[in-house]
Amino acid sequence: MSDPTTLVILGASGDLTSRLLLPGLASLLAVEPDRRVHVVGVDRAELDDAGWRAKVTEAFTGAGVPEDAAAEVAADARYVQADLLEQEQLAGLLDGLGGPLVLYFALPPQVSQKVCGLLERLELPEDTRLALEKPFGHELESAQELNVQLLKLVPEDRIHRVDHFLGVNTILNLIGIRFANRLLQPMWSAEHIERVVISYDETLALEGRAGYYDGAGALVDMIQSHLLQILAFFAMEAPASLDEVEVRSVKAQVLRATRVWGEDPTTASRRARYTAGRSEDRDVPSYVDEEGVDPANDTETLAEVVLEVANARWAGVPFVLRSGKALREPAKQVVVTFRPPRHVPTGLKDCTEPDQLILELKPGAVDVVLSMNAEGDPFELEQKVIRAELGKSRMLPYGEVLAGILDGDPLLSIRGDVAEDCWRIVDPVLAAWRAGSVPMQDYPAGSDGPDGWGVVPPRS
Ligand SMILES: O=C1O[C@H](COP(=O)(O)O)[C@@H](O)[C@H](O)[C@H]1O
């Protein structure tokens, strides 16, 4: 049996650890109970091994981890109380840790960066991997600097820039649906597709996350990161296999070709912020009145950007990426609108609506919307939906992503150049917004967004 991987969670008492990492690990162990992993929690907070083990056990309870596997992992788990910004304490932590070793930075980005700076002066054990959460930098330049810094510590294939959307089965389904279906393959280009809308509308509001969100906003929180990854899966060329080098290369090619539509963020982007309203039977305060929000930050809670993938396959097709909070209904989907047929026999009635393929990300389903016979007149048509529900995911997205990190496979991690490209794409939008060239609109919480936006923009 191979050596167990040591998973060191830096920031073990934080929200990310209890809300996402430990449940993710539990869901992974439920599927792979033989996986051997030592979970070391590190934080400044006062806690001992027993307290940490209780936390790990709590996360495993009810998650389907077989009892003996849960007991084994919990018994091996250990807690180190340390201030990671103290060089000596950091050195002490690494002492005695061997590879394979994962240092998972569940820390605010500024702290992660400082810790990486201190790690430069230490020798990392052989086969150390680094896992970092978004945001990866705050614009292109800082992402480039962070990449340089990380590469001083370990090679690129041991850096796992985490994006949990890469562990979402309905997003990974894009690979199967696109490349295993002859029916769709010839349709997947500007010749047949008129536009693509990738949206992630949430009913959730700020939910007490001002500390992070108020400095990020919808554009950075969702579009710069998650939605661009969906775009990459949607538009990439076919990889020859699921090997990380191939898949990550074809994704990178797409993002390298992507830019703001018309290279004009003032016409190709919109932003808005929720005001007081009611969402899902709750009163939601105006965003600026939420606890911890600084109105001077001018943070948007709904963002939309139109992009072009300027290559031979996609040039001329608008890709609309949109995400927002406190909206009336969740809309987490990719809507593909096909071009109209070249000619429809004269006499056929009501076939003016375009065909669509809708990939629903949550819950996972595929809808094909086609014109078909209505009742009665055989030449009168109506749009009907052919729907298939996707199979349930085997584990939580964080479980999938963690599996890759623990195995040292970066397939589901963001490559350094891609992290930079995602900033290169949105930086002009951020600059236009900061300069006040795109007005901030508003919408009541629980509505569909500002008047006139609609969920799907009008056909071009
Ligand atoms: O990373 C984030 O993602 C969530 C949406 O993802 P989900 O898997 O929870 O649906 C979003 O609410 C959050 O603001 C963002 O930081």
Closest CA to 10 of 59, 80, 77: 80
Residue nearest to atom 6 of ligand 1 (CA): 165
What is the C-alpha to C-alpha distance for residues 389 and 360, in angstroms, rounded to an integer? Answer: 9
Mean pLDDT in residue range 92-115:
93
- Confidence at residue 455, expressed as pLDDT on a 0 to 100 scale: 53
Mean pLDDT in residue range 82-104:
94
Which ligand 1 atom is the nearest neighbour of the CA of 225? 1
pTM of the model: 0.96
User: What is the Cα gyration radius of the chain?
Assistant: 24
Q: Which residue has the tokens 């990020």?
A: 216
CA of 164 to the centre of ligand 1 (A): 9
What is the C-alpha to C-alpha distance for residues 340 and 350, in angstroms, rounded to an integer? Answer: 13
Strand partners for 357: 336, 368
**Residue 1 pLDDT greater than 60, yes or no:** no
Q: Which residues are catalytic?
A: 226
What is the β-pairing status of strands 319-324 and 277-279?
A: unpaired
Which ligand 1 atom is the nearest neighbour of the CA of 216? 16
* Average pLDDT along the chain: 95
Split at pLDDT 50, 70, 90, the class of 96 is: confident
Instruction: Report the pocket of ligand 1 as residue ranges, CB < 6 Å.
Output: 202, 204, 221
**Residue 223 pLDDT greater than 60, yes or no:** yes
Q: Which amino acid makes up residue 122? A: L
**Residue 98 pLDDT greater than 70, yes or no:** yes
Q: Which two tokens stand for residue 47?
A: 């806690």
What string of H, E and C letters represents the secondary structure of the chain?
Answer: CCCCEEEEEECCCCHHHHHHHHHHHHHHHHHCCCCCEEEEEEECCCCCHHHHHHHHHHHHCCCCCCHHHHHHHHHHCEEEECCCCCHHHHHHHHCCCCCCEEEEECCCHHHHHHHHHHHCCCCCCCCEEEEECCCCCCCHHHHHHHHHHHHCCCCHHHEEECCHHHHCHHHHHHHHHHHCCCCCHHHCCCCCEEEEEEEEECCCCCCCCHHHHHHHHHHHHHHHHHHHHHHHHHHCCCCCCCCHHHHHHHHHHHHHCEEEHHHCHHHHEEEEEEECEEECCEEECCHHHCCCCCHHHCCCCEEEEEEEECCCCCCCCCEEEEEECCECCCEEEEEEEECCCCCCCCCCECCCCCCEEEEEECCEEEEEEEEEECCCCCCEEEEEEEEEECCCCCCCHHHHHHHHHHHCCHHHCECHHHHHHHHHHHHHHHHHHHCCCCCEEEEECCECCCCCCCCCCCCC
Residue nearest to atom 4 of ligand 1 (CA): 222
The domains of the chain, with CATH numbers, are 5-162 (3.40.50.720), 168-394+414-444 (3.30.360.10)
**Residue 457 pLDDT greater than 90, yes or no:** no
Residue nearest to atom 7 of ligand 1 (CA): 165
Which ligand 1 atom is the nearest neighbour of the CA of 168? 8
Q: Which amino acid makes up residue 394? A: R
Q: Which two tokens stand for residue 326?
A: 């406190």
CA of 92 to the centre of ligand 1 (A): 35
Q: Which two tokens stand for residue 298?
A: 């001018």
Mean pLDDT in residue range 13-17:
94
pLDDT digits (tens, 9 = 90+) for 352-402: 889 999 999 998 999 999 999 989 999 999 999 999 999 999 999 999 999
What is the C-alpha to C-alpha distance for residues 16 and 25, in angstroms, rounded to an integer? Answer: 12
CA of 75 to the centre of ligand 1 (A): 32
Question: Helix crossing, 109-119 with 140-151: angle to 10°?
Answer: 30
Backbone angles phi, psi at 448, to 5 degrees: -90, 5
Neighbours of 265 (CB within 10 A): 22
Residue nearest to atom 16 of ligand 1 (CA): 221
**Residue 140 pLDDT greater than 50, yes or no:** yes
pLDDT digits (tens, 9 = 90+) for 156-171: 999 999 999 999 999 9
CA of 409 to the centre of ligand 1 (A): 24
Strand partners for 338: 193
